[in-house]
Amino acid sequence: MSNLEFLAAHWREILGLTLEHLWLVTIAIAIASAIGIPLGILLSRSPAWRKPVLWFANIVQTVPSLALFGLLLPAPWLGERVARLAVFALALYALLPIVRNAYVGIAGIDPAVRESAIAMGLTKRQLLWHVELPLALPTLFAGLRVATVIAIGVATIAAAVGAGGLGELIFRGLAMVDNRVIFAGAIPAALLALLADGLLGLLERVVSPRRRSQSAAPRAVAA
């Protein structure tokens, strides 16, 4: 049986594991974004915290994924449910690109733009929502794309602790020394990463200020 025939014969199982994989990644990215974007904004306001926060995020990135899953297994509350543990670990891995790009996107805005907005009477909250975040969107989305691709790849290791996902097929294929089973997990994971990157790139182009009309900025500021 060829690889394609194997995929066709087991498409239901592959689809179920793909959806499980996607669920783990989606929840992890949502948590990482909810923490990382506000944290990046905070770092742009308080540069003294930049080094320790980014240092911690960098340290997490250097820990091998399988080792991180193993280290978290004995942790109270997390180790009780492997899906919860997998989501937490994936969120940690996704945190660095999201935090860093949020910080760079906000901190890299031309100071003259801020001064002009403040001179027009915008409050700090209005400055953030109507000026800084729209201008930082391309950088934010770039970080989100990197984080998503990383999470999809690392999520295959989650099967080692029983969290499910496409990694189940990869580990099963390794145990059976069967390339067809390995490919059945690896190919959908690779396609999932490419699809997620493409969709986020398309969304970035849609919401990017570069694609909006020049008249949109005055309306937003006026709001």
DSSP letters along 50-71, please? HHHHHHHHHHHHHS-HHHHHHH
| Confidence (pLDDT) at 3 | 75
| Confidence (pLDDT) at 213 | 41
Domains of the chain by residue range:
3-222
Which of these CATH numbers, 3.40.50.300, 3.30.565.10, 1.50.10.10, 1.10.3720.10, describes 3-222? 1.10.3720.10
Mean pLDDT of 2-21: 89
CA-nearest of 75, 78, 94 to 86 is 78
Characterise 77 by phi-psi region: left (phi > 0), alpha (psi -120 to 50), beta (else).
left
pLDDT value at 164 more than 70: yes
Tell how far CA 85 is from the center of its chain: 17
| Confidence (pLDDT) at 6 | 83
- Write the DSSP string, 71-95: HHTTSTTTTT-HHHHHHHHHHHHHH
Characterise 63 by phi-psi region: left (phi > 0), alpha (psi -120 to 50), beta (else).
beta
- The tokens describing 217, both together, are 């900025």
Query: Over the stretch 65-85, which tens digit does the pLDDT of each residue have?
Result: 989 888 888 887 776 688 889
pLDDT value at 41 more than 90: yes
| Confidence (pLDDT) at 186 | 94
Instruction: Find all residues with CB under 8 Å of 213, minimum gap 6, and list them.
Output: none
Mean pLDDT score across all residues of the chain: 88
| Confidence (pLDDT) at 33 | 96
| Confidence (pLDDT) at 219 | 40
**C-alpha atoms less than 13 angstroms from C-alpha of 170 in its C-beta half-sphere:** 22
Mean pLDDT of 81-101: 93
